[in-house]
Amino acid sequence: MSDIRVLTGPEVAEHASRDSCWIIVHGKVYDVTDFLDEHPGGSKIILKYAGKDATEAYEPIHPPDAITTNLPPEKHLGAIDASTVAKVIKEVTEEEKRRLALLDARPPLDSVINLHDFENVAKMVLPEKAWAYYSSASDDEITIRENRMAYQRIWWRPRILRDVSSVDWSTTILGQKSTLPVYISATALGKLGHPDGELCLTRAAANHGVIQMIATLASCSFDDIIDAAAPGQTFFLQLYVNRDREITRKYVQHAEKRGVKGLFITVDAPQLGRREKDMRMKAVDDNAGAEVQKGQDVKKDQGVARAISSFIDPSLSWKDIPWFRSITKMPIILKGIGSAEDAVLAYEAGVQGIVLSNHGGRQLDTARSGIEVLVEVVTALRQRGYFPDPKFEIYVDGGVRRASDVLKAIALGAKAVGVGRPFLYAFCAYGQEGVEKAIQIFRDEFEMNMRLLGARTIDEIVPEMVDASSLTSHFVMTPQDNLFNNTYQPLALAKFRDAKL
Amino acid sequence: MSDIRVLTGPEVAEHASRDSCWIIVHGKVYDVTDFLDEHPGGSKIILKYAGKDATEAYEPIHPPDAITTNLPPEKHLGAIDASTVAKVIKEVTEEEKRRLALLDARPPLDSVINLHDFENVAKMVLPEKAWAYYSSASDDEITIRENRMAYQRIWWRPRILRDVSSVDWSTTILGQKSTLPVYISATALGKLGHPDGELCLTRAAANHGVIQMIATLASCSFDDIIDAAAPGQTFFLQLYVNRDREITRKYVQHAEKRGVKGLFITVDAPQLGRREKDMRMKAVDDNAGAEVQKGQDVKKDQGVARAISSFIDPSLSWKDIPWFRSITKMPIILKGIGSAEDAVLAYEAGVQGIVLSNHGGRQLDTARSGIEVLVEVVTALRQRGYFPDPKFEIYVDGGVRRASDVLKAIALGAKAVGVGRPFLYAFCAYGQEGVEKAIQIFRDEFEMNMRLLGARTIDEIVPEMVDASSLTSHFVMTPQDNLFNNTYQPLALAKFRDAKL
Amino acid sequence: MSDIRVLTGPEVAEHASRDSCWIIVHGKVYDVTDFLDEHPGGSKIILKYAGKDATEAYEPIHPPDAITTNLPPEKHLGAIDASTVAKVIKEVTEEEKRRLALLDARPPLDSVINLHDFENVAKMVLPEKAWAYYSSASDDEITIRENRMAYQRIWWRPRILRDVSSVDWSTTILGQKSTLPVYISATALGKLGHPDGELCLTRAAANHGVIQMIATLASCSFDDIIDAAAPGQTFFLQLYVNRDREITRKYVQHAEKRGVKGLFITVDAPQLGRREKDMRMKAVDDNAGAEVQKGQDVKKDQGVARAISSFIDPSLSWKDIPWFRSITKMPIILKGIGSAEDAVLAYEAGVQGIVLSNHGGRQLDTARSGIEVLVEVVTALRQRGYFPDPKFEIYVDGGVRRASDVLKAIALGAKAVGVGRPFLYAFCAYGQEGVEKAIQIFRDEFEMNMRLLGARTIDEIVPEMVDASSLTSHFVMTPQDNLFNNTYQPLALAKFRDAKL
Amino acid sequence: MSDIRVLTGPEVAEHASRDSCWIIVHGKVYDVTDFLDEHPGGSKIILKYAGKDATEAYEPIHPPDAITTNLPPEKHLGAIDASTVAKVIKEVTEEEKRRLALLDARPPLDSVINLHDFENVAKMVLPEKAWAYYSSASDDEITIRENRMAYQRIWWRPRILRDVSSVDWSTTILGQKSTLPVYISATALGKLGHPDGELCLTRAAANHGVIQMIATLASCSFDDIIDAAAPGQTFFLQLYVNRDREITRKYVQHAEKRGVKGLFITVDAPQLGRREKDMRMKAVDDNAGAEVQKGQDVKKDQGVARAISSFIDPSLSWKDIPWFRSITKMPIILKGIGSAEDAVLAYEAGVQGIVLSNHGGRQLDTARSGIEVLVEVVTALRQRGYFPDPKFEIYVDGGVRRASDVLKAIALGAKAVGVGRPFLYAFCAYGQEGVEKAIQIFRDEFEMNMRLLGARTIDEIVPEMVDASSLTSHFVMTPQDNLFNNTYQPLALAKFRDAKL
């Protein structure tokens, strides 16, 4: 309709102060002066880009339309003439050089043989901030590790002498076909780790018949992801509910219109957890060379996670469920249930499923693992005649690294298992191919495990196949008698003749 | 009334032997010759200052009036003419230089994001002796660590979909308002770690509406602390009962008169524990260059703790409770209960509360943690109809480092939780501001945890929110098969191409 | 019958491509062109030897008759004139030099005093690939270690004051005399570790009256082993069932004819497990200097294990048992039972015994140990009146390193225990003498343990002698509070005067 | 009676071969040619001293009269003329120099504040062989460590507000007064560690009213020890029963005549355990520079322990008890009971007490600790009305390092506790004074613990004071997921500004 004003680099550069602060994002110029104090990440980080192009910093940690949504139209000043913007010659730090060398030297993809490998490569090749954001969990990070440990408290009781020449581990999730009893769970800010962000997941999922759950906080916009889909590709949507319900309504209905098959409402994050690795990263940044100062801004140490999540509504409650039912026909799943009581309430509220999850250990620390909660949930539902019920599916996520883990969850009553970080790390390390390799590893492990368990189909994975009697035991080692340990001399093996060898 | 005699440095210096030993403390001269053998810390340490100014050594480890109380008036020789005392040029050791450099380099306060950080900074910047005294615990230091570990045997069962837009973690303790369900528990000898000593706590507590418990063995005198209080600031008093009950009576009644709101009588310390870190410190000092000698003074290896505590009455018993009731109207709380039996006796003795505590692991080693004892105490009291009872409050202390720990104690029946060392370390590391930051961290953690638990007020923190079934399990790892472990080769991750990276 | 054609080195060397690929094995020339794509280990490894002598690579990992069996007679081109084949001068790598130096420096055999010592020597002196193949287990290698750990959850209740001047630990296994309640369990590819391969076991077993179980995948041919036997020496046969049952029938009947006394059918390996150490070895090999490539051959990362096992029939089932019964009179034992249910089925199927085993941790990871399964199996059989039954023997294998372990299994109901890797490592390290020393160590340990238990014969090893109440506890340590651990300062011992000492 | 022949060095030196082997011991010359093959420690070690003075090697590991008893009188050749024996100039090895420097630098005795300190000093200053012999235990040394660990599975339930101004931890043992509820348990070969050997114990015990149990295998002769006693000093006797009962009868009756008050018959050692540290020591010695040889002497790797113990009778049984009763009036105690069944048999056999012991972990490995066995023993005896019974006392030994451990044993039903290695290490490190210091440490710890427990006398140490519910739990950590652990990045504390600090 209107002519678009075109500005030049020098014009923008004049507005580089707290009193008048313009920035360039994606080729557009914005006046953010009045917004400085409202910015969830603090004003300081914006002021770093005052009068300059902020796109590179903006991109991975904001939903693409964040700036257009939050700034009133009159602050949209126009387009920038790219040729007039001084190129910033970024100095490559030693740290960054080392990272790039590591990226170059990463193991060939076919030497990657398990999901841990992806994580290790990602840890080495990711920018520090991205690794901190992805890997961090809350408080003492006990729950994130417990998520993994819990699977080791479940032991197999395999069956033998069954004809397992062909085994089939495909299933349906919310009635949708899936080649694996696994879906790609939502993780945020994919572009921090790979320029293609979540599209790596979308393309790999298409090739292998796996369902992707799209995150509200994805770096790629919802439509970009859907546009990249193969025909008939299945998606679920993870939803953080906005304080402004109208925004949520539009978002959900748009998703339904574009064919999303399930709405996973996150219910374990009325406020994002304190994630210290992420917070440290922020602190390091801001405090470089700083003195101990008095009365500093509290927001400083909140990390990326809190900065991007201020829109989430802490007042969300059971009362809101009917409203969701009223705005969409998609199956509704509550993601983040942590007790039998809430599983029963969810069933009685008429939703189509629940995810037993502690948000990858990123929210309440020392919350139990999904797999442990599963046992009490299935017991409680069964007692009330609510389980099994084909119209109410139970999922689990957190800590899964092996097909064997997935099968344990299925034996205990889960319909499928969500896998988040491993796929994220796979694309951070190797892009789309990494994700495909991860799926292939799962396939290979499923084949082997089902054969070794004597199960030909997912239905033959039954509770009797596991011994989960140690699952609820939370042992902590009694503090050691260090003096005794220091004086005890461990046994040694027979010595080789030349100690120098 | 009388003229005060003024002495000179050289005059004092003439009395520098066991036969005639004068010392200067706080500008006064004392003849301590006859007291040498009675000194709880041994005569040797006094003789080091014979004929000299002993103030610096005296100050942090004696109640301010110790010398005036213990020496008869005729041994108070008069004032010193400061100008006549030779200044001692203290050589700064390499150790001390390193410490001061560390102090200078300590992390900026706003990079401190949890209570552990304070402890780590304190460990690095405190004089060795102070760290040894504060951090030490008894025997093998198993209980001090168990205090922390016990909280990790309690796991959350959080609730979701409750409107947690506003959450409130304030409470009352003995009827007094507290912005946190936490009080500052008594710790001794604060000036060992910071020149302002316990006043750092007082000032921070005032700013944040937190209650401070004043220690009998504080470095700052009781009145100095009360004088520094803000109007209406609430204090409790921790009491070591003196062998001379008259001293105790005066002390308690004085406290009540000055507005103290609760009397916490320590009942777990008829004798102070053997604290080896503290004892080692003493030994190092005395034995520098010493030969192995026969028949040495036993007292030598007793450390600071025992030296300062000889006045405590080991005969204190249940029979004394009515006497306490007779001398004060303050609520009486027994601090240091470790079994259900004694909790029942306490209730029946008519006191107003108990602290389930093992004295921060400093007394009986392998005593159970307060949080573990809490479960049996609540069960026993409930069986007798003594719980809940608004007139009888239960507190817990020991091992708390997260708001999450506090909330677990509350879920299991505690009214509030005492936190000692973390606040102590906070001021050792950063003075009053450190304590304020510690309180702020608690606030931030309480907010997050209550939201994530689905609890809007302290009352909504209920027993069903925790799984404490592993709490009484005292697991000790079976000794390892070291030969097996030495031959087992752990799995490795995929290798990067250049091993040098 | 026919003249044998004799070929020369240069003639063979002309066929060194994918289009025409001849190789020399054991002095014979074969045309493997058409077989390249069928080779379970991939074509690449064969092409490495195209036109050359492949014997050295072929030998340790193929049954001796593999090539003659798999290639049709017309591809058997004739004999080679050895004098015409160019000798390959193998470059000795630094790695190999180091290995040979270690071999030379290995501990004198009489300083070897336990079975762990053999494993350690083997680890140091074996070629990397051999160590990887032997030591590897599946997935996270949890079960292989659990196999050992489980024995440490069983504690002795010894008896005293019994006349133990003479003790006897001999027994019978399937009616055959054995000087130990231990048999040598089947392990594959012995020539990878020692040029004499499994013959080392055969000769040592003969000298000590121990029974050897011959592996289907032994490097030495079945007949070579039987030919090396002493008169009356007892053997069992481990059987992988071939997809082509006729091959299996012939193999079994041949074994029976040659005097084998028991048929142990492996039932826990319809597909071989993913063994990452073995897979890594393969990957390292193939990827030396390789770029990250797209769409690579999946088979590449399968390791030795899978390459050699493609003939195994995954359709084997309970229905096949009568067929086995029909082709042999040997006792039939099912090797690889992991649950009480299958033990009951086995008994009811009329077999003569079962081995409670998880295949040395090489198949289903987090499967329970044989010793743990033993308790539930004995209980279930006893409940049905199936135990004890002299016609149905129960064996256990996995993780045994001490006579004490064997006796625990016997106390819990096992007739004997299979020991595989320790004997394998013994001959890898010291050849036949190593195996003899291993047996001698067992004897010495049996004597000591039986005396200390107060048991004069194997029959006196009774269930009351063990406390196995912790056996089913699968304790996993709650993740540690690393921040707490980092700030806690462990107690120190008294310091020596000169720290430099 | 007869003239004693006096021989010269050169005369003896002529008999320095296997065909004629003379040695000098304690100034006497013996012809040991015929005895070479009977020597329990092997002939090799004797031949090292053929024609020379063997006293130094003989002394610490033989009962003083071993040679005179074992050699027939005609092999006693006469006295040696000391002046004619060439002095051997011993080369001091680097190892020995280092040891002597450590001995010189050992911590001053008053910096020793717990029993662990003695052990650490002993470990550093003892000759390697002595340390190996003393510290070694059997097989994987699991039981020796479990002995200590078990005490950490017992937790205190202390009582408060009891008048503990005076506490008394003295008791009686077999009716004899003891200032501690602890006796010095028998340990062998004290001269390996200190020239005065067990006399260090005797003299210290005299000064502190503690009872010493004399070991059959003491380096000092029984009479030397008794001769060194103070008037009225109490001793017990530990007895290894000789294959020749007459020797035993004389030994026991002699002990009774000399005033010994209790006979502790060792019943857990029909054969000495395989102690690998001790065995390694032997192997190192013999194999210096040796080649791997065939058919070597099996006895070589048996270590000191087995060499000195061949006289012990493995046929000892319950049938022998009446005979013991017939030869002595001393109370008889069976040392080494490990199950309730045998405790009941012992009671019914009419002995006066039992020691629940596993021989310091030196015999049957993975035998349970004495303290764990105590619980089942007391329960079983109580069920039969055998407990409490003032005429039947129960002792425990193994793993005690703190007075707190002793009190736990007493709470659970023990009359007293045996302490062996800690006193042994005390005198190895500091001679008699070390033992006195160890006793003093015990006293100090008893005083503190009894006060903190609220127990004024040993009788007030009651079962309710301990929570032993975890005592029988033998947890073993599930093998770790190493890949996960390797990728997990632990949380870090706030960083100091200059990482170099």
Closest CB from B149, B153, B487 relative to C119: B487
User: In the prediction, which pLDDT does C289 show?
Assistant: 32
Nearest to C268 by CA among C339, C196, C329: C339
What dihedral angle (degrees, nearest 10) is formed by the CA atoms of D38, D40, D42, D45?
-110
Q: Answer yes or no: is pLDDT of C204 > 50.
A: yes
Cβ atoms of C425 and C118 within 8 Å: the answer is yes
Class of domain C132-280+303-467: alpha beta
Cβ atoms of B334 and B240 within 8 Å: the answer is no
CATH number for domain A6-84, candidates 3.40.50.620, 3.30.1320.10, 3.10.120.10, 3.30.1300.10? 3.10.120.10
Phi-psi region of D490 (alpha: psi -120 to 50; beta: other; left: phi over 0): beta
3-state secondary structure of A419: strand
User: In the prediction, which pLDDT does B319 show?
Assistant: 97
Please state whether the peptide bond connecting residue D388 to the residue before it is cis, i.e. omega within 30 degrees of 0: yes
User: In the prediction, which pLDDT does D286 show?
Assistant: 46
The pLDDT tens digits for C355-409 are 999 999 999 999 999 999 999 999 999 999 999 999 999 999 999 999 999 999 9
User: In the prediction, which pLDDT does A305 show?
Assistant: 66
B289 is written with which tokens? Answer: 């260059």
Q: How confident is the model at residue C44 (pLDDT cuts 50, 70, 90)?
A: confident
User: In the prediction, which pLDDT does A297 show?
Assistant: 40
Average confidence score pLDDT of chain D: 90
Q: Biggest alpha carbon distance in chain B?
A: 88
Q: What are phi and psi of C68, to 5 degrees?
A: -70, -35
Neighbours of chain B (3+ CB pairs under 8 A): A, C, D
A408 is written with which tokens? Answer: 């344990």
Q: Could you tell me which residue, A91 or D161, shows the higher pLDDT?
A: D161
Average pLDDT score over residue span A7-31: 91
The two counts, helices (H) then strands (E), for chain B are 19, 16
Distance between CA atoms of C142 and B488, rounded to whole angstroms?
11
User: In the prediction, which pLDDT does D293 show?
Assistant: 33
The pLDDT tens digits for C469-485 are 999 998 888 788 787 78
What are the chain A neighbours of B440 within 8 Å (beta carbons)?
A: 298
User: In the prediction, which pLDDT does A282 show?
Assistant: 67
Across C55-69, C267-281, C285-299, D388-402, the highest mean pLDDT is recorded for D388-402
The pLDDT tens digits for B447-474 are 999 999 999 999 999 999 999 999 999 8
The pLDDT tens digits for C109-155 are 989 999 999 999 999 999 998 999 999 999 999 999 999 999 999 99
Average pLDDT score over residue span C163-182: 97
Nearest to C429 by CA among C90, C130, C153, C215: C130
Distance between CA atoms of C432 and C435, rounded to whole angstroms?
5
Of all residues in chain D, the one with the smallest CA distance to C163 is D315
Of all residues in chain D, the one with the smallest CA distance to C403 is D139
Q: How confident is the model at residue C300 (pLDDT cuts 50, 70, 90)?
A: very low
Give the B:D interface size as CB pairs under 8 Å.
194
User: In the prediction, which pLDDT does C284 show?
Assistant: 52
CB contact under 8 Å between C123 and B487, yes or no, is yes
Q: Answer yes or no: is pLDDT of D405 > 70.
A: yes
Work out the minimum CA distance from D344 to partner chain B, whole angstroms.
28
Please state whether the peptide bond connecting residue B388 to the residue before it is cis, i.e. omega within 30 degrees of 0: yes
In one-letter notation, the amino acid at residue D183 is: Y
Could you tell me the residue ranges of all domains in chain D? 6-84, 132-283+303-467
CATH number for domain D132-283+303-467, candidates 3.20.20.140, 3.20.20.70, 3.50.30.10, 2.60.120.380? 3.20.20.70
What dihedral angle (degrees, nearest 10) is formed by the CA atoms of C265, C268, C273, C277?
-70
What are the chain D neighbours of A494 within 8 Å (beta carbons)?
A: 280, 283
Give the A:D interface size as CB pairs under 8 Å.
63
What are the chain D neighbours of A401 within 8 Å (beta carbons)?
A: 481, 483-484
The pLDDT tens digits for D126-166 are 999 899 999 999 999 999 999 999 999 999 999 999 999 99
Cβ atoms of B218 and B446 within 8 Å: the answer is no
Average confidence score pLDDT of chain B: 90
CB contact under 8 Å between B280 and C486, yes or no, is no
Closest CB from D117, D120, D314 relative to C165: D314
Closest CB from A110, A445, A496 relative to C102: A496
Rounded alpha-carbon distances, angstroms, from residue A496 to C105, C124, C126, D297: 6, 10, 14, 21
Catalytic residue list contains A268: yes
User: In the prediction, which pLDDT does A90 show?
Assistant: 73
**Catalytic positions of C, written as ranges:** 240, 268, 359
The pLDDT tens digits for C63-81 are 677 788 778 888 899 999 8
Q: How confident is the model at residue C302 (pLDDT cuts 50, 70, 90)?
A: low
CB contact under 8 Å between A489 and D120, yes or no, is no
CB contact under 8 Å between A280 and D119, yes or no, is no
D273 is written with which tokens? Answer: 């355990």
User: In the prediction, which pLDDT does D103 show?
Assistant: 92
In one-letter notation, the amino acid at residue D418 is: G
Q: Answer yes or no: is pLDDT of A368 > 90.
A: yes
Rg, Å, chain C Cα set: 25
Which residue numbers in chain B have pLDDT < 70?
1-3, 40-41, 63, 88, 282-308, 498-501
Per residue, what are the HEC states of A138-207? ECCCHHHHHHHHHHCCCEECCCCCCCCCCCECCEEECCEEECCCEEECCCCCHHHCCCCCCHHHHHHHHH
Superfamily of A132-283+300-467 according to CATH? Aldolase class I (3.20.20.70)
User: In the prediction, which pLDDT does A307 show?
Assistant: 66
Work out the minimum CA distance from D303 to partner chain B, whole angstroms.
19
Q: How confident is the model at residue D292 (pLDDT cuts 50, 70, 90)?
A: very low
**Catalytic positions of B, written as ranges:** 240, 268, 359
Rounded alpha-carbon distances, angstroms, from residue D26 to A208, B37, D187: 88, 53, 24
Average confidence score pLDDT of chain C: 90
In one-letter notation, the amino acid at residue A34 is: D
CATH number for domain B132-283+302-467, candidates 3.30.70.80, 3.40.50.720, 3.40.190.80, 3.20.20.70? 3.20.20.70
E strand residue ranges, A366-474 = 393-397, 416-419, 466-467
Cβ atoms of A22 and A32 within 8 Å: the answer is yes
Q: Answer yes or no: is pLDDT of C451 > 80.
A: yes
Q: How confident is the model at residue D500 (pLDDT cuts 50, 70, 90)?
A: low
User: In the prediction, which pLDDT does C2 show?
Assistant: 55
Q: Answer yes or no: is pLDDT of D287 > 70.
A: no
Q: How confident is the model at residue A290 (pLDDT cuts 50, 70, 90)?
A: very low
Q: Answer yes or no: is pLDDT of A231 > 90.
A: yes
The pLDDT tens digits for B91-137 are 788 888 999 999 999 999 989 999 999 999 999 999 998 999 999 99
From the candidates C161, C430, C486, which should be mutated to test the interface with D, based on the most D CB atoms within 10 A? C161
In one-letter notation, the amino acid at residue B103 is: L
User: In the prediction, which pLDDT does B476 show?
Assistant: 80
Q: How confident is the model at residue C410 (pLDDT cuts 50, 70, 90)?
A: very high
